[in-house]
Structure 1
Amino acid sequence: MTSRQAQIDRRTSETKIQIDLRIDGRGTSQIATKIPFFDHMLTLFSRHSLCDLTVNADGDVEVDFHHTVEDVGIALGQAFTKALGDKRGIRRYGWAYLPMDETLARVVIDFSGRPFLHYKAPEGVASIGGFSFTLLEEFLRAFCTNAAVNLHVEILYGRDAHHMCEAVFKGLAKAVDQACQLDPRVEDIPSTKGTL
């Protein structure tokens, strides 16, 4: 099997992001974004997707967390695009219902090559420390666009902001794991178009 891994080095005037992704891993991670709650979410993503993931982010967090969160989403999406190549043999689709105490989230993904995000969450959710809940959608949009996936995320119900974010990140991890798995019955690209 070809090694499905990628390294991304993204540098802007606002952030410097380095990502090392190995899809066929064991869920080990080294995450350092200077945003503790975001580190926690990316660690959960790695553990539950079974992808090995290293993220080093140096961003202008003294201004706002937005640039770092969005740019990590961009770079992580680019890493999946690079690591999957032509997507030959993958299952393509993945989905998960993920409970987290009082919260239930549904995440459905298609590595279709056509980016689209549907996101539905309660309005006016409190921040988690300094991490604005709205950054969850910004991360998902950046990841979705750069991984070129059709991504549907809905928080079906919940009250606690931490639990809602965690349910989404874990649900995304499980859906990505399922979609990226190689199916021995699929010998080519899983599309009647012949390309994804």
Structure 2
Amino acid sequence: MSAGAVARTATVSRKTKETEIEASINLDGTGTYDVSTGIGFLDHMLEQLSKHSLIDIRLQAKGDLHIDFHHTTEDTGLALGECLSKALGDRKGIRRYGSALIPMDETLTHVALDASNRPYLIWKVNFTRPKLGEMDTELFKEWFQAFAQTGGLTLHVWNQYGENNHHIVESSFKGLARALRHAVEIDPRAMAAVPSTKGVL
């Protein structure tokens, strides 16, 4: 980040009867993370998101895991998406679009996004197992939906092929990370402009 630039950081606190979450991000970070949700596999995916996007993420969540993992999974997506949107501010100067094609052994996943402030998720990802560890595989769509909703992202995730469910999920998060990394970068050729003919996102 250049001297005099405004720090693109945000912190969100979210507390309901189901979850209690403290989250913060730095868009111009180095990919450092401190994540604890009580769900080991979700922690691993959020660490991948931070590492490969170079967005610093701190997230501490306590949820009603004695019921199931749904509320904690969804609410961490909502909190991180809200952080993203707050840190982007008026979205001036960003590249806006990003995409990544991520291979992981036998798996190939394509992620494309538009930081348009118009939330939409296309999820073309299928699993052959109901769980990964203790986590229901159907919950990954819930996380991506929540993150896109509060993050203001048009987000397309397409697993083109793959057999290993772990690889399918991980390539989706890594694809999101790499696409985000490009989309939220400041474009040195258009630092003062909102990337839209409307003049606002």
- In the TM superposition, what is the alpha-carbon distance from 1:123 to its structure 2 partner? 4.8
Q: Which amino acid aligns with 1:130?
A: E
Does the alignment pair 1:7 with 2:11?
yes
2:196 to 184, 191, 194: 191
Q: What is aligned with 1:49?
A: 53
Match of 2:148 among 96, 120, 144: 144
SS for the counterpart of 1:189 is: coil
- Using structure 1 for the length normalisation, give the TM-score: 0.98
SS in 1 for 2:84: helix
1:115 maps to amino acid: P
Aligned-pair distance for 1:126?
A: 3.5
Report what 1:24 is aligned to: 28
2:168 is the counterpart of 1:155: no
Report the alpha carbon displacement of residue 122 of structure 1 after superposing the two structures with TM: 2.0
Work out whether 1:81 is the aligned partner of 2:117. Answer: no
Conserved 8 A contact 2:52-2:177: yes
2:113 counterpart of 1:106: no
- CA drift of 1:179 comes to 0.1
Q: Is residue 99 of structure 2 the alignment partner of residue 95 of structure 1?
A: yes
Q: Is the 2:127–2:165 contact (alpha carbons within 8 Å) kept by the matching residues of 1?
A: no
CA contact (8 A) 2:130 2:138 kept: no
Cα RMSD (Å) = 0.8
Shift of 1:9: 0.2
Contact 1:126–1:161 (CA under 8 A) maintained in structure 2: no
Give me the identity figure in percent. 46
Aligned length, in residue pairs? 196
Three-state SS of the structure 1 residue aligned to 2:132 is coil
Q: What are structure 1's unaligned runs of at least 5 residues?
A: none
Deviations 1:47-74 (A, max 9, x none): 0000111010000011100100000000
